[in-house]
């Protein structure tokens, strides 16, 4: 088994144990415009991700470490093949709560971490 195969097996286990379902709603926004659905990308349902709303320590090279209280969710990149960017929306199936993506970063271990804020209810 290669390292990549082992890492994929670990990620699948993490999703099986800790993962929960999200719906992905791609959005677009321009300067001085409210976010609206992005017709160039498809909505996706039932995406498995690991949700965490506890504080986390963020270390960036050359900067003072700080604690963030933003909710976040991590995904395996293949689950969102069209990519994710601000202001896309994730709906947590467990609670129905809507979250807007404010940042997306690789975690250094093969997953993508999305930093979130509560999204406004659509009009």
In this prediction, residue 29 carries a pLDDT of 87
- Per DSSP, the three-state class of 79 is helix
pLDDT in tens, 89-114: 999 999 999 999 999 999 888 899 99
Q: What is the mean pLDDT of residues 51-58?
A: 74
Exposed, middle or buried by CB within 10 Å (0-12, 13-18, 19+), for 91?
Answer: middle
User: At residue 30, does pLDDT exceed 90?
Assistant: no
- Could you tell me if 53 and 92 are in contact, meaning their C-beta atoms sit under 8 angstroms apart? no
> What domains can be seen in the chain, in order of their start residue?
3-118 (2.40.10)
Pairwise pLDDT comparison (47 vs 122), residue with the higher score: 47
Mean pLDDT taken over the chain? 87
> Taking the CA atoms of the chain, what radius of gyration do you get in angstroms?
15
Flag whether pLDDT at 60 surpasses 60.
Answer: no
| CA angle, 87 then 24 then 83, to 5° | 65
**pTM for the predicted model, two decimal places:** 0.82
């Amino acid at each position: 088994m290669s390292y990549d195969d082992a890492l994929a097996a670990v990620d699948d286990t993490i999703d099986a144990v800790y993962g929960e379902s999200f719906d992905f709603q791609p959005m677009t926004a321009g300067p001085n415009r409210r976010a609206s659905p992005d017709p160039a990308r498809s909505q996706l349902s039932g995406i498995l991700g690991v949700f965490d709303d506890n504080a986390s320590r963020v270390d960036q090279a050359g900067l003072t470490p700080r604690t963030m209280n933003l909710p976040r969710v991590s995904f395996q990149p293949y689950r969102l093949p069209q990519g994710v960017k601000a202001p896309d929306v994730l709906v947590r199936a467990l609670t129905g709560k809507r979250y807007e993506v404010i940042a997306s970063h690789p975690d250094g271990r093969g997953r993508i971490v999305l930093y979130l804020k509560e999204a406004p209810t659509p009009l």
